[in-house]
Structure 1
Amino acid sequence: MGYFSKFLGITAALMLMSVTVAGAAEKDPLKPRVPADQMSDAKAMKNPIASSPESIAKGKALFEGKGTCFNCHGKEGKGDGPAGAILDPSPRDFTNCKFHKKRKDGELFWVIKNGSQGTGMVSLIPAAINEEEAWNIINYERSFCKGE
């Protein structure tokens, strides 16, 4: 088998895998990602940056820029970004208002800082963003909920 044939075979296998895994449903969207022994501390954390048009704009720029959030969560926050297409479970859908009502800002911050075991979410602080930037991103993520 020549190089080109092997390349085509691998490419076809990867495409099939992405089609098979793509759209894998977000598992337990309301289930917390913070370990039980750290939950009270996470819930007690308050966002020091008030949600404002300026903060949301900063969060959007970070979400779509150096935070690289859009790669998995998508530009519209639906969990349908290009890299998220191969993840199982799929990334969080930030348009889910029930999710936002159930989670405190400190829990979201904890996940951005520590990642989320069993998902594709990795720790972003300090590797990609700092703590202040994370709080702005959380304000932006909250803006995806348009009611309910």
Structure 2
Amino acid sequence: MFFLKIRSIGCAILLSICGQSAWAFHKDVYEPRVPNEILAQEQQVKSPHPVTPERIEAGRRVYFGVGFCVTCHSKDGTGVNLPGHPPRDFTDAKWQKLRTDGELMWVLKNGSPGTGMPIRVGTDITEEDGWNVIQFIRTFGGK
């Protein structure tokens, strides 16, 4: 009886996770992750830091280190093949052109609803680290 109950709970959890994932899946990889009501505002947000080799290098260290970005987005930025919603491919030139730095910072601060992207700024990294990571992500730039 005990094992049947545990198995039932496990199945319920699995169905819940799979159901949420399917319901929240973004079919269009170019769809903004920022809610529509604040998208225009977030698109106007600019980095307070100039693009420099030092900041790009600092972003690279965060990407491969405490930011855990490499875990899902891979060492070359193409993304790891994961079940559910695939991680963003930072080498996609169209995606790079469409997404603003402000939108990327919003995702770092809020996660990406409907995907596995968690909140990073304020949990694992600072806002300055986030801006540096964005500068590093831009170096993948549609290769």
The aligned residue for residue 36 of structure 1 is 36
What is the CA–CA distance in structure 1 between the aligned matches of 2:35 and 2:136, rounded to whole Å?
24
Indicate conservation of the 8 Å contact 2:96/2:142, yes or no: no
What is the CA–CA distance in structure 2 between the aligned matches of 1:50 and 1:87, rounded to whole Å?
37
Indicate conservation of the 8 Å contact 1:87/1:119, yes or no: no
Indicate conservation of the 8 Å contact 1:87/1:120, yes or no: no
What is the CA–CA distance in structure 2 between the aligned matches of 1:143 and 1:41, rounded to whole Å?
25
Match of 1:96 among 77, 92, 97: 92
Q: 2:58 is aligned with what amino acid?
A: K
| Offset at residue 86 of structure 1 (A) | 2.9
What is the CA–CA distance in structure 1 between the aligned matches of 2:113 and 2:49, rounded to whole Å?
27
Q: TM-score, normalised on structure 1?
A: 0.75
Q: SS at 2:75's partner residue?
A: coil
Structure 1 residue runs of 4 or more that deviate by more than 6 Å after TM superposition:
none
The verdict on how the C-alpha distance between 1:41 and 1:89 changes in structure 2, with shifts beyond 3 A counting, is: same
Q: TM-score, normalised on structure 2?
A: 0.78
Q: 1:79 is aligned with what amino acid?
A: G
What is the CA–CA distance in structure 1 between the aligned matches of 2:63 and 2:27, rounded to whole Å?
22
Length, aligned pairs only: 118
The aligned residue for residue 119 of structure 1 is 115
The verdict on how the C-alpha distance between 1:142 and 1:27 changes in structure 2, with shifts beyond 3 A counting, is: farther
What is the CA–CA distance in structure 2 between the aligned matches of 1:100 and 1:145, rounded to whole Å?
6
What is the CA–CA distance in structure 2 between the aligned matches of 1:95 and 1:27, rounded to whole Å?
19
The aligned residue for residue 140 of structure 1 is 136
What is the CA–CA distance in structure 1 between the aligned matches of 2:121 and 2:37, rounded to whole Å?
21
Q: What runs of 5+ residues in structure 2 fail to find an aligned partner?
A: 1-25
Q: SS at 2:124's partner residue?
A: coil
Q: 1:92 is aligned with what amino acid?
A: R
Q: 1:124 is aligned with what amino acid?
A: R
What is the CA–CA distance in structure 1 between the aligned matches of 2:31 and 2:102, rounded to whole Å?
15
| Offset at residue 146 of structure 1 (A) | 4.6
Q: 1:122 is aligned with what amino acid?
A: P
The aligned residue for residue 105 of structure 1 is 101
What is the CA–CA distance in structure 2 between the aligned matches of 1:102 and 1:76, rounded to whole Å?
20
